[in-house]
Amino acid sequence: MQNSQYGSDFRKLEEDYFELDYEVKNIFKEKAEKYKSIYTSRVLLSISMILISVAPMLIASILGGSSKLVVLMLVLLISIVGL
């Protein structure tokens, strides 16, 4: 982990070896296991939203693409990506 603002704060953690207490290690493992499914579903949802966001522009180009329709579909695209 490198950051110019916190570089010196984390240097000791990166360079020195340390071992967590057994109970603390188990707590971290439990929290990581619980968060893994949430993380995976959110990444999947994000990728799906980005892929789906292209659909309004494709529909606008197929339907003829009047300027009002293109602007409307662009607004829809931006709102889908913004979620």
Mean pLDDT for back-to-back runs of 10 residues, the chain (83 residues): 56 73 88 90 89 82 79 82 75
Domain residues for 28? 20-49
Residue 4 lies in a domain: no
Q: Is there a single domain that holds both residue 45 and residue 24?
A: yes
Encode burial over 6-35: b for 16+ CB neighbours within 10 A, e otherwise: eeeeeeeeeeeeeeeeeeeeeeeeeeeeee
The count of structural domains within the chain is 2
Q: Which two tokens stand for residue 58?
A: 């494709």
pLDDT of residue 61: 79
pLDDT of residue 17: 75
pLDDT of residue 1: 46
Q: Is there a single domain that holds both residue 26 and residue 45?
A: yes
Question: Is the pTM of the predicted complex or chain greater than 0.95?
Answer: no
